Chain A
Amino acid sequence: MANHTGDSGSFEDLAMPLFASLYNFACWLTQDRAAAEDLVQETYMKGLKGFPSFRQGTNFRAWIYRILRNTFLTSLAGLKASVSLDAEDDAPPEPATDETPESVLLARLESESIQRALEELPVNFREIILLCDLEEMSYQEISLAIGIPVGTVMSRLSRARKALRGLLATKPQGASQ
């Protein structure tokens, strides 16, 4: 179930079980091992320092993911990656035509090509797909983690998936780098 609320306990008890997921997420954002380790380390130290301000009984996972992605976005790599990102959220919905149906795509999908496509996505699209599909966060949780309204979560997610489908559809089969 995606709903995940009402956490309480010590920082260590709440944060350490998320270690592997946070590191994996950091790898996706930074695309670099050393940078991912730095990001995770900074996230834990910031989290520990800010833990008194975490309201016990609220959503710890969304809270710590928010620290991680904010830390990333204010890093040099994050600033570069996030240039001109949020503008698209308010654009009107595009017609649902001329899309490659998932069913067609799925037949051609391998983990490797999805990974390559995810890597090519702009970072705000990549992160929202990961939070939703990999971390299985609810829209409400994603809204807390990214700090945007639920409505924006839905529209950005929809655009992100469209972009992902677009990349998958145009990629020649078995192409590598």
Chain B
Amino acid sequence: MSCDLHRDTLDAYADDSLSPAELERVEEHLRTCPACAAQALARMQMKRATRAAAANLALRPEFRMRPEFRMQIEAGIRRERRPFWKTARLLWLPAAAAALIVVGLSTTLLMRHAARNQAVAELLDLHVGTMASSNPVDVVSTDRHTVKPWFQGKLPFTFNLPELQDSPYKLMGGKLVYFKHSPGAQLLFELRKHELSVFIVQEQEGLLSMGAGVTEAGEKGFRVETWSQGGLRYAIVSDTGAGDVHALGDLLRGAAH
């Protein structure tokens, strides 16, 4: 080159990477130096040609991506971002830590409801915690004649379970829980991939205020139906429809008579 302009400087000029001061100096030089101006122009043309050549590699038939590929990536991002407790409920993730997180989370979510009805919040936590547990039940059986005797000697009361043969509900098992500082039974039922927890404890002063009826438990779509019968407090917790919850309640009420 016949002048003091380094070729790296011309590169940087074409690459739009000069500082404002350098840019001014180079432009002034280019106005008076046809050789460097031609070089700069050639670099820009080369850059443009490279860009045009490089831009469409992915359009060549052998590189054309599968049409569903982008959707897969987007679905992957959404899946990863999914709130943890939802996945846990579906997959019964075997992690004790997960259960703790879930219980803590649901407690927070339900603070408003807890203020209104602490007992309902406590039942929800028990239910959600069970869903996230690797061992949701202590006695695993679909047979009420196995599940009911398992509680004998563990609880200061007995209860009856309905015959489910002609119903869509399936008994999954049960476990011992502490609700309002009293031992009780938690029975797990399944209905079309939804789980329902039935809690049975001795009726006590603090629970009478729960009365009878259905409580919608907030934005997470859980509902709690509760009633008092024969000195026992029953509560069903599930994210399934109110009709399904009530129908299971009818079966339990029928069996308790």
Taking Cβ atoms with an 8 Å cutoff, the residues of A that contact B are 1-2, 11-12, 15-16, 19-20, 23-24, 27-28, 33, 36-37, 40-41, 44-45, 48-49, 96, 101-103, 105-106, 109, 111-112, 114-115, 118, 129-130, 132-134, 136, 138-140, 154-155, 157-158, 161, 164
18 inter-chain pairs at a CB distance below 8 angstroms, sorted by A residue, are A2-B17, A19-B73, A23-B58, A37-B65, A41-B73, A48-B77, A48-B81, A106-B45, A111-B52, A129-B50, A129-B54, A133-B47, A133-B50, A133-B54, A136-B16, A154-B12, A157-B11, A164-B50
* Contact A115 to B53, CB < 8 A, known contacts A96-B7, A138-B17: yes
Total interface residues on B, using CB and 8 Å?
39
Smallest beta-carbon distance B124→chain A, Å = 30
Determine the chain A residues whose CB is within 8 A of the CB of B11 once the complex forms.
154, 157-158, 161
Smallest beta-carbon distance A177→chain B, Å = 14
B15–A134 touching, CB < 8 Å: no
B63–A36 touching, CB < 8 Å: yes
The 8 Å CB contact of A158, one of B7, B52, B80, is B7
The 8 Å CB contact of B70, one of A19, A33, A48, is A19
- Closest residue to B38 on the A side, CB-wise? A103
Report B198-219 CB contacts with A as 1/0, cut-off 8 Å.
0000000000000000000000
* Contact A111 to B49, CB < 8 A, known contacts A41-B76, A130-B54: yes
**B21 interfacial by beta-carbon distance below 8 Å:** no
A106–B15 touching, CB < 8 Å: no
Given contacts A12-B74, A133-B54, A139-B17, 8 further A-B contacts (CB under 8 A): A12-B77, A28-B54, A37-B65, A112-B53, A114-B49, A114-B54, A118-B50, A118-B53
Smallest beta-carbon distance A23→chain B, Å = 6
Give the 3 A-B residue pairs with the shortest CB-CB distance, closest first. A102-B42, A114-B53, A24-B58
The 8 Å CB contact of B55, one of A19, A37, A106, A134, is A134
A16–B50 touching, CB < 8 Å: no
- Closest residue to B66 on the A side, CB-wise? A37
Smallest beta-carbon distance A126→chain B, Å = 9
Expressed in whole angstroms, the Cα–Cα distance for A37 and B65 within the complex equals: 7
Centre residue among B45, B46, B62 by max chain A CB count within 10 A: B46
* Contact A139 to B58, CB < 8 A, known contacts A11-B77, A41-B76: no
Expressed in whole angstroms, the Cα–Cα distance for A52 and B154 within the complex equals: 48
Determine the chain B residues whose CB is within 8 A of the CB of A37 once the complex forms.
65-66, 69
Expressed in whole angstroms, the Cα–Cα distance for A19 and B73 within the complex equals: 9
- Closest residue to A40 on the B side, CB-wise? B73
**B181 interfacial by beta-carbon distance below 8 Å:** no
Smallest beta-carbon distance B76→chain A, Å = 6
Expressed in whole angstroms, the Cα–Cα distance for A33 and B46 within the complex equals: 27
B1–A111 touching, CB < 8 Å: no
B12–A139 touching, CB < 8 Å: yes
Interface residues of B in 77-91 (CB under 8 A from A): 77, 80-81
Determine the chain B residues whose CB is within 8 A of the CB of A161 once the complex forms.
11, 46
- Closest residue to A15 on the B side, CB-wise? B77
B73–A134 touching, CB < 8 Å: no
B74–A24 touching, CB < 8 Å: no
A102–B62 touching, CB < 8 Å: no
* Contact A45 to B12, CB < 8 A, known contacts A27-B58, A33-B62, A106-B46: no
- Closest residue to A102 on the B side, CB-wise? B42
Expressed in whole angstroms, the Cα–Cα distance for A28 and B39 within the complex equals: 28
A133–B39 touching, CB < 8 Å: no
Expressed in whole angstroms, the Cα–Cα distance for A164 and B42 within the complex equals: 14
**B256 interfacial by beta-carbon distance below 8 Å:** no
Expressed in whole angstroms, the Cα–Cα distance for A40 and B55 within the complex equals: 17
Centre residue among B49, B80, B81 by max chain A CB count within 10 A: B49
